[in-house]
Amino acid sequence: MDLLRNYQDQNDDEMDDPEPQNPTTSNPSSPDASPPRLLTSKSAAPKVDDTMLALTVSGTNGHKALSKPIDPTQHAVAFNPTYDQLWAPIYGPSHPYAKDGIAQGMRNHKLGFVEDASIEPFVFDEQYNTFHKYGYAADPSAAAGKSPWAGKKEGLPTELTEEQKKYAEEYAKKKGEEKSGADKGEVVADKTTFHGKEEKDYQGRSWIAPPKDAKATNDHCYIPKRLVHTWSGHTKGVSAIRFFPKYGHLILSAGMDTKIKIWDVFNTGKCMRTYMGHAKAVRDICFSNDGTKFLSAGYDKNIKYWDTETGQVISTFSTGKVPYVVRLNPDEDKQNILLAGMSDKKIVQWDMNTGQITQEYDQHLGAVNTITFVDNNRRFVTSSDDKSLRVWEFGIPVVIKYISEPHMHSMPSISLHPNSNWLAAQSMDNQILIYSTREKFQLNKKKRFAGHVVAGYACQVNFSPDGRFVMSGDGEGKCWFWDWKTCKVFRTLKCHEGVCIGAEWHPLEQSKVATCGWDGLIKYWINPISNGV
């Protein structure tokens, strides 16, 4: 009985104080049991300073830790730093090796912190120009009175002398004029001189009215051979010539002497009117469809819209950049739309009725040289100094076709074939390339006109009215004629001393050609056989 009572007491003690047992070690005699492990486990993670971590997470001490920069001499970081702590400046407001360059709170410029200079701008410019011209300037560390900014450096107010005040006023006035004229071209008084006998004849018709008997003389064009007239009046080179639209009884010329002249072709052969309104050389001219008005673009950054008959300037346009080419939209209902290719890579579109810029085509990477309307004037092609061609939908500033090849050169002149299916582009590698005006605007590799030397000169390319001949001037004063079908040289004429920059075929008398050159002359050539001479 005593043994049974002792056994019961032992069971009661085990029930009162139970101990968890590992199932693998509870039965040491089990065959699946493993021997007990007596080695302590090791961790590969570095030890973390729990105290510093607690301070970082805690309230007040945490803010101090967050704002505290990391010491660059410290080889190990005992806490988890934030981004601001990693890039916080070590000494002072700036740290040259910091990712952001300067503490965020101290920057007032995207490159850091900018302070106003304690010197007047005109005094600084005076010292700057003196240094670059004579090699010396006032010492900024000198005593007050010797240096223009030494007084302000020591916190003393500096008073300008009478001479400096006068200089400051002139400086401010000059800067104001420069700022006001930055977006405008040079201003010159517009003048015109009529050289004819009378502006209206006995019937009251204007001197620009075309003759009644003007009509096409031949169905086929013939290459001119003989010089019949020379117009001389420009004191410098002639950069462009344009026949009066449809009739050709007058010819307009743009000169590098800043003047534009219009000459009689049918009757007297004399200069009829001179237009003076540009301060620098005139680069391009363009008639309206009826010839009663024309545009001129000059290196004085102005585009002027002239009345052909009276010589009055109707309006002037400028963006502050040099216009290289000007064109009116050829559609009769869009004769108030002006497009200009500028030196700042843009094609700017104006509404001349309001004088406002209505569109800017800004995709080129160089100065824009040509604007040519194609596809019934719904699109236009531009060439640029970036050695590319771009096709635009009129009114939409998005390129719909971009043509650029590694072998391409810049194309300073482009002309449309009379059948409107081809473009002839004067390439700076002494050849004329032909591009299709269809959807693909592909290069026609079978047609290539060469032999002339135009590298470095913007010689104009043109077609005969029937499309049988291609014509171009060159840098040696010659005018070249090629056969359109065979691409062979048909004839060359020695026209000018120096560069023959422009050549235009008469629109009605189809065996007559006008050329202009840098010798200041305009010459008129005919084929005597076709004209019955």
The 3-state secondary structure of 177-203 reads HHHHCCCCCCCCCCEEEECCCCCECCC
| Span 465-505, pLDDT tens digits | 888 999 999 999 999 999 999 999 999 999 998 899 999 99
Residue 62: pLDDT over 50? no
Q: For residue 14, is it left (φ>0), alpha (ψ between -120 and 50) or beta? A: alpha
Q: Which long-range contacts does 256-264 make (Cβ < 8 Å, 24+ apart)?
A: 256/281, 256/282, 256/518, 257/281, 257/520, 258/282, 258/298, 258/300, 259/234, 260/285, 260/296, 260/306, 261/233, 261/234, 262/308, 263/231, 263/233, 263/522, 264/196
DSSP state of 270: S
Do the Cβ atoms of 27 and 21 come closer than 8 Å?
no
168 against 340, higher pLDDT: 340
At 151, is the pLDDT very low, low, confident or very high (cuts 50, 70, 90)?
very low
| d(C-alpha 311, C-alpha 96), whole Å | 64
Q: Given the structure tokens 């965020």, which residue do they identify?
A: 104
The 3-state secondary structure of 286-301 reads EECCCCCEEEEEECCC
pLDDT at 197: 84
Residue 11, phi then psi, degrees to nearest 5: -65, -35
Do the Cβ atoms of 462 and 505 come closer than 8 Å?
yes
CA atoms within 13 A on the CB side of 244: 24
Q: What is the pTM of this model?
A: 0.66
| d(C-alpha 529, C-alpha 511), whole Å | 9
| d(C-alpha 469, C-alpha 485), whole Å | 9
Do the Cβ atoms of 365 and 384 come closer than 8 Å?
yes
Q: Given the structure tokens 């019934």, which residue do they identify?
A: 376
3-state SS assignment for residue 11: helix
3-state SS assignment for residue 133: helix
Residue 33: pLDDT over 60? no
**pLDDT, the chain, mean:** 80
- Chain Cα centroid distance, residue 93: 40
Q: Which residues pair with 259 in a beta bridge?
A: 276
b/e burial code for range 482-494 (CB count within 10 A of at least 16 → b): bebeeeeeeeebe
Choice among 211-225, 273-287, 478-492 with the minimum mean pLDDT: 211-225
Number of neighbouring beta carbons within 10 Å of residue 106: 13
pLDDT at 471: 93
243 against 127, higher pLDDT: 243
| d(C-alpha 252, C-alpha 481), whole Å | 23
DSSP string across 205-234? -BTTSPPTT-----SS-----EEEEEEE--
Do the Cβ atoms of 221 and 466 come closer than 8 Å?
yes
Residue 138: pLDDT over 70? yes
Structural domains of the chain sorted by starting position, each given as residue range(s) with its CATH number in brackets: 222-235+405-532 (2.130.10.10)
Average pLDDT over residues 350-371: 91
Do the Cβ atoms of 78 and 49 come closer than 8 Å?
yes
* CA nearest neighbour of 432 among 380, 385, 469: 469
- Chain Cα centroid distance, residue 510: 39
* CA nearest neighbour of 471 among 463, 227, 516, 281: 463
| d(C-alpha 34, C-alpha 11), whole Å | 28
Residue 145: pLDDT over 50? no
Residue 32: pLDDT over 60? no
* CA nearest neighbour of 522 among 116, 208, 151, 250: 250
Average pLDDT over residues 291-317: 92
| d(C-alpha 176, C-alpha 146), whole Å | 29
Number of neighbouring beta carbons within 10 Å of residue 203: 6
pLDDT at 460: 93
Residue 234: pLDDT over 60? yes
* CA nearest neighbour of 98 among 87, 112, 111, 85: 87
DSSP state of 194: E
